[in-house]
Amino acid sequence: MNNTNNIKKKIRAGIIGITGYSGLEVFKILERHPHITSIDLFSSSRAGEHISSSYPMYFDKDYILQEINFAYMEKNLDVLFIATPKGISTKLIEDLKDLDLKIIDLSGDLRLKDQQDIIKWYNIEKPSSQEIRSHIAYGICEFNEKQIATSKIVANTGCYALTSILCLSPLYVKNKHMENALIDKKHVIVDAKSGVSGAGKTPTNTTIYGNVNENFSIYKVSTHQHIPEIEQHLSIISNSEDYQYNQHVQDNKIPAITFAPHLVPMMKGIMVTCHVQLENDGISLEEIHRIYQDQYKNSPFVRIRPLGNFPQTKEVLNTNYCDISLNLDLRTNRLIIVGVIDNLIKGASGNAVQNMNIMFSLPQTSGLKHI
Amino acid sequence: MNNTNNIKKKIRAGIIGITGYSGLEVFKILERHPHITSIDLFSSSRAGEHISSSYPMYFDKDYILQEINFAYMEKNLDVLFIATPKGISTKLIEDLKDLDLKIIDLSGDLRLKDQQDIIKWYNIEKPSSQEIRSHIAYGICEFNEKQIATSKIVANTGCYALTSILCLSPLYVKNKHMENALIDKKHVIVDAKSGVSGAGKTPTNTTIYGNVNENFSIYKVSTHQHIPEIEQHLSIISNSEDYQYNQHVQDNKIPAITFAPHLVPMMKGIMVTCHVQLENDGISLEEIHRIYQDQYKNSPFVRIRPLGNFPQTKEVLNTNYCDISLNLDLRTNRLIIVGVIDNLIKGASGNAVQNMNIMFSLPQTSGLKHI
Amino acid sequence: MNNTNNIKKKIRAGIIGITGYSGLEVFKILERHPHITSIDLFSSSRAGEHISSSYPMYFDKDYILQEINFAYMEKNLDVLFIATPKGISTKLIEDLKDLDLKIIDLSGDLRLKDQQDIIKWYNIEKPSSQEIRSHIAYGICEFNEKQIATSKIVANTGCYALTSILCLSPLYVKNKHMENALIDKKHVIVDAKSGVSGAGKTPTNTTIYGNVNENFSIYKVSTHQHIPEIEQHLSIISNSEDYQYNQHVQDNKIPAITFAPHLVPMMKGIMVTCHVQLENDGISLEEIHRIYQDQYKNSPFVRIRPLGNFPQTKEVLNTNYCDISLNLDLRTNRLIIVGVIDNLIKGASGNAVQNMNIMFSLPQTSGLKHI
Amino acid sequence: MNNTNNIKKKIRAGIIGITGYSGLEVFKILERHPHITSIDLFSSSRAGEHISSSYPMYFDKDYILQEINFAYMEKNLDVLFIATPKGISTKLIEDLKDLDLKIIDLSGDLRLKDQQDIIKWYNIEKPSSQEIRSHIAYGICEFNEKQIATSKIVANTGCYALTSILCLSPLYVKNKHMENALIDKKHVIVDAKSGVSGAGKTPTNTTIYGNVNENFSIYKVSTHQHIPEIEQHLSIISNSEDYQYNQHVQDNKIPAITFAPHLVPMMKGIMVTCHVQLENDGISLEEIHRIYQDQYKNSPFVRIRPLGNFPQTKEVLNTNYCDISLNLDLRTNRLIIVGVIDNLIKGASGNAVQNMNIMFSLPQTSGLKHI
C-alpha cells in the first residue's frame, strides 16, 4: 500500500467507556491519529454530559457524551472501541456483532475461546456463545496479524498477558531452533508487577492512595484471569490451530505456568520477570538472543535489548513499546526474561489502535510512533 | 533469668556510621531501649560535628560525633554497632577484635565464612582472615541463638538474605517432616523486591528521585551478594555444622537458588516471593502451614499468616516482624512463599538489637516490641 | 504530682471509630501508654468483627469490635475517644454527656462555640446546643491547659487549625511585647499544605491513588471549615474571655485570615506557610524569635527552630512535635512563619492523648515522648 | 504565512546539554517537530559517546554526542538550544554571539538585564556584559513576541518566573481597566510549589529519593533567583520600556513580591498560589475574569479556567499549557490566583520551542499542540 492511499483513508471512530483509564488513552491517541476524522464518545451512565464533567482540563473541547445508540453507530462509525468493566461487552456484543462496523473490545470478556474458561476465570455467568467467540480474533498483533486483518471483532490482549506472551512465545513457536525443546515446560514462572492503574479508576480499598503508596503487595496468586489467556496463546503457537489448552496442560504438552502478580506503588508500568529452566545445557545466551531478535524483526513495537541492558518500566512509559531483555543464570542454567510495557498504552489503548491499524490496512505504527 | 535482674542490667552502646540509614535506626531504637544507659556516636568523616549537622531535627539533642578511638571505646562501651559501607569494618575489625567489648557489624564484610566468597561476591580484595571469620556468629536470631549468645562478634544478616532465609529454612531444617524431601531443590527461585533505602543514603543515579519514582527496575540478577549468604545458611541447617556450601551446590546437595532483586518506588519494605517445586504430591498446604508455625513457635518476630492472608510490606513497616504466608498452586504443585519485612528494622537495625539482646541475655523482644 | 502516684494511675480507655486513620493512631498510642490498662473498641458498622477484618496485620491480637453501649461504657471506661466522620458525635454526645466518663472528640462537630458557625461552615443542620457547647473545652493544650484539666468533654483541635494557631498565636497573645501591634492584622495569609490522610480513609475520587500521586491541587480556598476555628482561638487570646470572633472580624479587631489549603502527594504531614505583614519596622527577627521561644518554653511538643533552619514535614513524622521556624523578608518587611506537624499525630491522635494526659493530671508527655 | 510555506521551512537544530532534564525534553519535542530536519547533540563531558550511554532506552537511535565546535555549528545549524547548568552559557555566549545562527538559552545566565542583579541573585562573578544583555530578548512569548521575533538570542524564562508572570501580569499591564489601581501592590505574595525535577538531575541530598518522597519542604524563602526575573518583567509592562526595576521597587512603583518556594514530592509540575489585595472593593470576580480572558485571547498556551474550576498540576502534565484560575475571598477582598504548568515543558523545553517558532515565523503551536 502506498502512502498516497493512506493519506486518503478516513476513519470515523467511537469509544464506549471514556471515563475509565483505557478509554481516555484511546481517545488521546485517536485525537492525534492522522486517519481519524471524527470521534464519538458514548456512555450509559453519563450521557448528555460535557466531557469536562469527567475531565475538567477538557473544558475547552467540544465533546458531549452520548447515549449508546446502535443505529447511530452503524451510520456514523467505521470502528468502535469498547473499554468497559467486566461483563458489559458480553451484553453489548449481542447487538453490535450484526452492525456494519469493526469492533475492538478492550475488556477481558471475549479473549478466551472456551466459554467454560470465562465462567471459571472471570466468574461471568452467561458469557458470549461459542459461536460468537469463534469469529473473534485475539488481538496479539505480533502473532496474529492475518486473522486480525480479516476479522470484524478483535479482543484486545490483557496487559499482563501481552507482556508475558511477548516474553515467552519465542520459546514456543515452532521453528528450526525448536526441533529440540529449549526449555523444560514444567518450570515456567511468571512473577509479574504492575502499577495501580491496572486496577481501574473506581475508588476502592485497593486503589486508595493510603493503601498503594509506600506499599508493595501480592494478590490473586495462581488465580489471575490472565493465566488462561497466556496458556491459550502458547498452546496455539505450539500446536498450530488447536486451542484446547486445558487438555494440553493436562497432557503436559504445554506448561501450566505459575503466575504471581504484585501491585507496585506507581501509576503506570508493568514488568514481568519470567523464570524458565533451560533443557539444553549447550545453548548460549547469544543464540537465544538471536532467536528473540529474529522472532520480532518485523514487529515495530517489540524491542530486544542488547545483552546486559535491563529495561526499567519508566523507559517505555507513554510509548507503545514492549522492551525485552534476557539473562542467563549460569549456576542454575535458568533463563530470566524481563519484559516491560506501559500498561495503559501497549497493555491497552496503544495495542488497540495497533489492531485498528491492521484492520484498516494501515501501517501498524500509524498514529503510534510518537505518543 | 528473672525480671529483676533484667531491670538492673545496664549497657553502654556505641555506633559507628550514624549518618547512614541503618545507623540512624539503631540510634533511634537504642534511645528507647530500657537497658541502654549511654550512646556514643562515632564518625571518621564528621567527627566534632553536632548530630544536627546531619539531622537538623535533632537540634535539641546533646550528641557530638566523636573520632574513632579504640581506647575510649574499650573503656566506655559494652557493645559497638558498626553500620558502615562495604570494606570499612574489614579494616576496623583488626583492632576491634581484641578489645573487651561486643561487636555487631551491620555490613556484609563478615557474613560469609569463606574468604574466597567475599572476594568473589563482594569484590573486596583483602577480606578478613579465615581465623577471624571462624569466631564470628552469623546473626540470624531464629536459627543461631546459641552461637550468638556466646560470641564476641556478630555479623548481622543482610536484608534480602534474612527474609529469604526465614521463608525457605523450614523446608531445609532436618526434622521429622523432612525424612523425605519436601521440595525439589533444583528449582528454588527467589524473586525479591526492595524499597530504595536498601541502596543506602549516598546520592547516586540509582537513588535520585527522578530514577526511582514511578519506576520499577531489576538489577544484579543472579549476581547479588546476598545469594551466597542464603545458600551458606541453607547448607548449614541442612547439613549440621558444615558450611562448604560451594561444594554442596556443585554436588547438588543444596540448591543454587536463582535470585532476582527488583527496586520498588518506595522508601522502605522488602517482599520476597519464593517459588519452589514440591516433590511430594501428597502433602497438603495445611501440613506445610503447620511445619512453618512449628518452626517459629518460639520466635517472637516471625509471624506465619493464616492461610489466604497475604501480607503487604506496609503492614510490617516500623516493626521488627517478618510476616510469612504460604500459597499452593494446585495446577503446578508449586509452593509460593511470601515474606515481608521493614528492611531497615528487621532487615538491619531491629535485628541487630535483637542480636544484642541475645548477647546480653536479655529477652529477644527487649526494646523492640513497640518500635 | 510525684512519680510514684503516676505509676499507680490506671486508665481504662475506649475508642469509637478505629476503622479510620485517627482512631487507629489513637489505638496504637494507647497500646503503649504506661497508664492505660484496657482498651475497648466500638463500631456501629462492624460490631462483632475481629480487629483483623479491618487490619489484617492484627491477626494475632485479641480485640473484637463492640456495639456502642452506653451502660457498658459508663461501667468500664474512664475515657472515651470519638474518631468518627462529621455529624456522628453531634448525635452521640446527647447520651454521652451525662455518663460518668471523660470524652475526647476528634471530629469537628464540637469545636466552634457558636452554633451558627457550625451550621455555616460544617453544613450540619442540627448542631449540638449552645448549652452543651459552653461546657466543652477546646483542646489546644498549649493555650488552654486549665480549662482542659477541669472539663469533662474536650473538642480536639483540627489539624490545619492547630498548626496555624501555634504559628500565629504568639503574635496575638497579650503580653509586654504586644503593647504595640506587631503585625498588620488585615494581612494574614495562611497557605497550607497537607498529605492525603487528612481527607480520611474512605475511597473517593479525591483519595484514589491516580488522582493524588504526581499531582498537586488546591481546594476549599477561603471556605475551609478550619478557618473559624483559627479565628475563634485568635479572638479569644487577643480579647480575654470573649469568643464572639465574628463580631471582632467585622470590627477589624482581629483578622479575617485568608486560608488556602493544598493537597500534597504524600500520606502524612502538614506544612503551613503564614505570611504576615509586620507593622513595626524596628523589630528584629531575633526579637521575634525570642518571643516565640518564650511563648512555648513550657510546651514540650512545640519546638522553635534555630533561625535559618527550616523544618520539613518528614522531620516530625511519627512524632507529636509541632516545629516552627521564622523568616523575615527584609525587602517587604514580611514575616514568613512555617509550621510542620504529623497530621495524624499532633494533628489528631497525639494531641488527643496529650489532652487525656492533662485531664488525668499526668505529665503531658506521658506515652507520647517516644512515638 | 500560509501552510505551503510552512511545510517548506526547514530548520537544523542543535542542543547542548541533553544529559539534563530540560535538554532531553527539547530533544523529544524537536524529534517530532514538523520543521526540524536534523538534530545535533553536543556535550563537553560526554563527547564521543552514543546517546544510549546516557539514555539506555535510546539504544536503537543514531545519535553520537559531539564536541562543542563553533565552526561546525555555524555551518550546520540554524538554531542552537543551550540547556546547561549555571555559568556555562555565560562563557559560551562570548563565541556564539558572533555566529550566524539563532540561540535559545534555557539557563538563567542571561535573563536579567542588569549585570548587578546577576551577581547578586545568581552569584556569578563575571556575568555577560551589559552590551550583550542589551541584545537579548526575554523569552516570555505572551508579552514579548515582537522582540523575540527579531532577536538573535533569546533567554528562555525560568519555570517559577513564567508561571508567576502569567498569573500576575494582567494586573499590571497598562490598559483601560487599569486606569485606577486594581490591587495594592505592596501586598503581593507568591507561594510557589514545584516538583523535584526543577532541582535538576545531578544526584544531591536535595534530589535523593529518601529526602523527597513523603516529604514537603520549603527553601530559599525570599532569596530565590526568580524573584528579580518576575519583578523586572512586571516593572517593564507597568512602565513601558524601562527595566530599572530595582529603582521602581525602592520607589514603590512596583511591588517587591514575597516569594516562598516549596518542594513537592513529585517529579513534574508547578503550582503558584498568588495572594493579592484588591484596592477596589467594587470590582467583581467576573470582571477580573474577563480581564484575564482578554489579556490572553491570542495566547494559544494560556488557558483561563472557568470560575470555580481549579486546575491541578496533573491536568497540564506533558502539555505546553499554563492554566490559570481566579478566586476571590470576599471576607478579605483578597484575590487568589492559581497557575499550573509542567515545569519541564511550558517551564522550559516547550516554551523554548515556542520561542523558536516565533523566531522562525512559524505558528507558535508548531510541534507543540500534541506533546
Identify the burial level of A360 via C-beta atoms within 10 angstroms of its C-beta, where 0-12 means exposed, 13-18 middle and 19 or more buried: middle
Q: C59 vs B309: CB contact, 8 Å cut-off?
A: yes
Pick from B189-193, C304-308, D181-185, D283-287: least confident: D181-185
Distance from the Cα of D200 to chain B's closest Cα (Å) equals 9
Read off the pLDDT of residues C61-86 as tens digits, 9 standing for 90 and up. 999 999 999 999 999 999 999 999 99
Determine the residue of chain B that is closest to D54 in CA distance.
B205
Say whether pLDDT at D320 is over 90: yes
Cα dist from B57 to B40, C301, C358, whole Å: 19, 13, 26
Mutation target vs B (from A215, A223, A259, A341; most B CBs, 10 A cutoff): A215
What is the average pLDDT score of chain B? 91
Maximum Cα interatomic distance, chain D, rounded to a whole number of Å: 65
**Phi, psi for residue A14 in degrees, rounded to 5:** -130, 155
Indicate the pLDDT class of residue B183, thresholds 50, 70 and 90: confident
Mutate which of A214, A285, A309 to disrupt the B interface (most B C-beta within 10 Å)?
A214
C178 and C83 within one domain = no
Q: State the cell numbers at D175.
A: 490598559
Q: Tell me if D224 is assigned to some domain.
A: yes
Closest-CA residue of chain C to A205: C203
CB contact under 8 A, C275 and D260: yes
Catalytic machinery residues of A: 159
**What pLDDT score was predicted for residue B176?**
53
Q: Which three cell numbers stand for residue C317?
A: 513524622
Task: For Cα atoms A91, A97, A103, give the angle at the middle one, nearest 5 degrees.
Answer: 95
Indicate if the pLDDT at residue D5 is higher than 50.
no
Q: Which of C159, C167, C274, C322 is catalytic?
A: C159
Instruction: Give the number of other Cβ atoms within 10 Å of residue A289's Cβ.
Output: 17
Give the dihedral of Cα atoms D43, D46, D50, D52; nearest 10 deg: -100
Residue A140 CA, chain-centre distance (Å), reads 7
Do D172 and D40 lie in a common domain? no
| B48 and B197 inside one domain | no
For residue D241, name the pLDDT band (cuts at 50, 70, 90).
very low
CB nearest D266 (choices: C214, C269, C312):
C214
Average pLDDT, chain A: 91
Residue-level pLDDT at C6: 45
pLDDT bracket for residue D4 (50, 70, 90): very low
Q: Which residues contact D313 (CB under 8 A, 6 or more apart)?
A: C215, C216, C217, D195, D266, D268, D269, D270, D271, D340, D341, D342
CA dihedral (D144, D149, D150, D154) positive or negative? positive
CB C224 within 8 A of CB D279: no
Q: Nearest-CA neighbor of D40 among D8, D77, D71?
A: D77
What grid cell was written down for D154? 533569546
- What backbone torsions phi and psi does residue B175 show, to the nearest 5 degrees? -160, -175
Interface contact flag, C262 D268, Cβ < 8 Å:
no
Residue D176 has pLDDT above 70, yes or no: no
Binned at pLDDT 50, 70 and 90, residue C4 comes out as: very low
- Chains touching chain B through at least 3 C-beta pairs below 8 angstroms are A, C, D
Q: Is residue A93 part of a domain?
A: yes
CA D257 vs. chain centroid, Å, equals: 18
DSSP D347: I
How many Å apart are CA B245 and CA B228, to the nearest integer?
Answer: 8
A73 within a domain of the structure (yes/no): yes
Q: Over the stretch D10-31, which tens digit does the pLDDT of each residue have? A: 999 999 999 999 999 999 999 9
Average pLDDT over residues B278-307: 93
Q: Which of A191-195, B242-246, D156-160, D250-254 has the lowest mean pLDDT?
A: B242-246
Q: Which residues of B touch C316 (CB under 8 A)?
A: 57
pLDDT at D256: 85
Checking if the pLDDT of D254 tops 80, the result is no
The pLDDT-based confidence of D175 (bands split at 50, 70, 90) is low
Say if CB C366 and CB C150 are below 8 A apart. no
**H or E element, residue A289:** helix A285-295
* C-alpha grid cell, residue A292: 528473540
The CA distance from B194 to B212, in Å, is 12
Q: Give the one of A265, A327, A331 whose C-beta lies nearest to B266's C-beta.
A: A265
Which residue type, as a one-letter code, is found at position C171? L
Clarify whether residues D210 and D324 are in a common domain: yes
Q: Hey, are the CB atoms on A59 and D311 less than 8 Å from each other? A: no
Whole-number Å distance between alpha carbons of B215 and B50? 36
For residues B227 and B191, membership in a common domain is answered with: yes
The pLDDT value given to residue A172 = 87
Task: Evaluate whether residue C268 is within a structural domain.
Answer: yes
This complex has an ipTM of 0.94
Compare B131 and A30 and report the one with higher pLDDT. A30
In a shared domain, residues C144 and C105: yes
Which chain C residue lies closest to B53 (C-alpha atoms)? Answer: C309
Look at residue A144 in the predicted model and tell me its pLDDT. 96
CATH number reported for the structural domain that contains residue B218 in this entry:
3.30.360.10
DSSP state of B221: T
Q: How far is CA C24 from CA B312, C15, D307, in A?
A: 18, 9, 39
d(CA D259, CA D223): 8
Burial class (CB in 10 A: 0-12, 13-18, 19+), C339: buried
Give me the pLDDT at residue D298, please: 97
pLDDT of residue A100: 96
Least confident residue range of A183-187, B110-114, C333-337, D209-213 = A183-187
In a domain, B369, yes or no: no
Q: What is the mean pLDDT of chain C?
A: 91
Residue D333: count of CB within 10 angstroms of its CB: 17
Distance from CA of D360 to the nearest CA of C (A): 35
Measured distance CA(C233)–CA(C117) in Å, rounded: 14
- As a whole number of angstroms, the distance between CA C205 and CA A193 comes to 24
A137 and A11 both lie in a single domain: yes
Q: Are residues D245 and D129 part of one domain?
A: no
* pLDDT at residue C250 is higher than 80: no
Decide if pLDDT at C241 tops 70.
no
Query: Has residue D345 got a pLDDT over 90?
Result: yes
Mean pLDDT of C123-138: 92
C-interface mutation test, from B28, B33, B51, B59, most C Cβ less than 10 A away:
B59
Strands across the sheet containing B322-329: B217-218, B258-263, B183-194, B270-278, B334-341, B322-329, B302-304
Residue type, D54: S
C356 Cα to chain A: minimum distance (Å): 28
Numbers of helices and strands, H then E, in chain B: 13, 13
What percentage of chain B exceeds 90 in pLDDT?
80
Q: Position D148: which residue type?
A: I
Q: CA-based Rg of chain D, rounded to a whole angstrom?
A: 20
Say if residues B351 and B157 touch (Cβ distance below 8 Å).
yes
The C-alpha of A112 sits at a distance from chain B's nearest C-alpha, in angstroms, of 19
User: Which pTM value belongs to this model?
Assistant: 0.95
Q: Which residue of C has its CA nearest to A197?
A: C210
d(CA B46, CA B62): 16
CB spacing of B203 vs D207 below 8 angstroms: yes
Q: What is the largest CA-CA distance in chain A?
A: 65
Beta strands D270-278; D183-194: pairing state: antiparallel
Here the CATH number for the domain that contains residue B146 is: 3.40.50.720
Cβ–Cβ below 8 Å for B210 and D208: no
Q: Looking at the predicted structure, is the pLDDT value of residue D1 above 70? A: no
Chain A residues near residue C205 by CB distance under 8 angstroms: 203
Three-state secondary structure call for residue B342: coil
CA distance A179 to chain C (A): 47
Which CB contacts under 8 angstroms, 24+ apart, belong to A287-290? A287/A177, A288/A182, A288/A326, A288/A328, A288/A335, A289/A326
Q: At what angle do helices D21-32 and D350-359 cross, to 10 degrees?
A: 50
Q: Are B153 and B284 within one domain?
A: no
pLDDT in tens, B18-51: 999 999 999 999 999 999 999 999 998 999 999 9
Q: What chain B residue is nearest to D265 in terms of C-alpha separation?
A: B209
Active-site option among D159, D167, D274, D322: D159
pLDDT over 90 at B179, yes or no:
no
Q: Three cell numbers at B54? A: 546531619
% pLDDT > 70, chain A = 91
What whole-number percentage of chain A has pLDDT above 90? Answer: 80
Please say whether the beta carbons of B286 and B293 come within 8 A: no
Question: Which uninterrupted H or E stretch holds A167?
Answer: helix A159-168
Chain C positions touching chain A (beta carbons under 8 Å): 21, 196-197, 201, 203-205, 207-210, 212-214, 266-267
Smallest Cα–Cα separation from A43: which of A20, A27, A62, A67?
A67
Q: Provide the domain limits for residue B53.
A: 3-157+348-359
Q: How confident is the model at residue B362 (pLDDT cuts 50, 70, 90)?
A: very high
Domain count across chain B: 2
Contacts of C62 (CB under 8 A, 6+ apart): none
Quick one: C24 exposed, middle or buried, by C-beta within 10 A (0-12, 13-18, 19+)?
A: buried
Contacts of B207 in chain D (CB under 8 A): 203, 208-210
Task: Indicate whether A170 and A312 sit together in one domain.
Answer: yes
| C132 CB-contact burial (10 Å; exposed 0-12 / middle 13-18 / buried 19+) | middle
pLDDT, tens only, B52-73: 999 999 999 999 999 999 999 9
Active site annotation includes B159: yes
Q: Considering the domain boundaries, does residue B69 fall inside one?
A: yes
Cβ–Cβ of A210/C204 closer than 8 Å? Answer: no
Q: Are residues B188 and B47 in the same domain?
A: no
Q: Mean per-residue pLDDT for D222-251? A: 77
User: Which of the residues A208, A212, A217, A266 would you substitute to probe the C interface, choosing the one with the greatest number of C C-beta atoms within 10 Å?
Assistant: A208
What is the rounded average pLDDT of the residues A301-327? 97
What is the pLDDT at residue A253? 60
Instruction: For chain C, give the secondary structure using H, E and C.
Output: CCHHHHHHCCEEEEEECCCCHHHHHHHHHHHHCCCEEEEEEECCCCCCCEHHHCCHHHCCCCCECECCCHHHHHHHCCEEEECCCCCHHHHHHHHHCCCCCEEEECCCCCCCCCHHHHHHHHCCCCCCCHHHHHCEEEECCCCCHHHHHHCCEEEECCHHHHHHHHHHHHHCCCCHHHCCCCEEEEEEEEEEEECHHHHCCCCCCCCEHHHHCCCCEECCCCCCCHHHHHHHHHHHHHCCCCCCHHHHHHCCCCCCCEEEEEECCCCCCEEEEEEEEECCCCCCHHHHHHHHHHHCCCCCCEEECCCCCCCCHHHHCCCCCEEEEEEEECCCCEEEEEEEECCCHHHHHHHHHHHHHHHCCCCCCCCCCCC
Sign of the torsion angle spanned by Cα atoms D132, D135, D141, D142: positive
Residue D64 sits in the same domain as residue D147: yes
Please indicate, yes or no, if residue D213 is contained in any of the structural domains.
yes
Per the CB < 8 A criterion, the answer to whether C313 and C340 are in contact is: yes
Residue C308 phi, psi (nearest 5)? 90, -5
C-alpha cell at B307: 492461610
Assess if residue A370 is contained within a domain. Answer: no
Q: How does residue A160 score in pLDDT terms, banded at 50, 70 and 90?
A: very high
Nearest CA in chain C to A267: C210
Could A208 and C203 be called an inter-chain contact, meaning their C-beta atoms sit closer than 8 Å? yes
Mean pLDDT throughout C112-119? 90
Using a CB–CB cut-off of 8 Å, the residues of D that contact B are: 21, 196-197, 201, 203-205, 207-210, 212-214, 266-267
List all residues 6 or more positions away from D179 whose beta carbon is below 8 Å from its beta carbon: none
CA distances from A2 to A8, A11, A354, A361, C16 (A): 11, 17, 18, 11, 72
| Beta-carbon separation of A207 and C212 below 8 A | no
Amino acid letter, C119: I
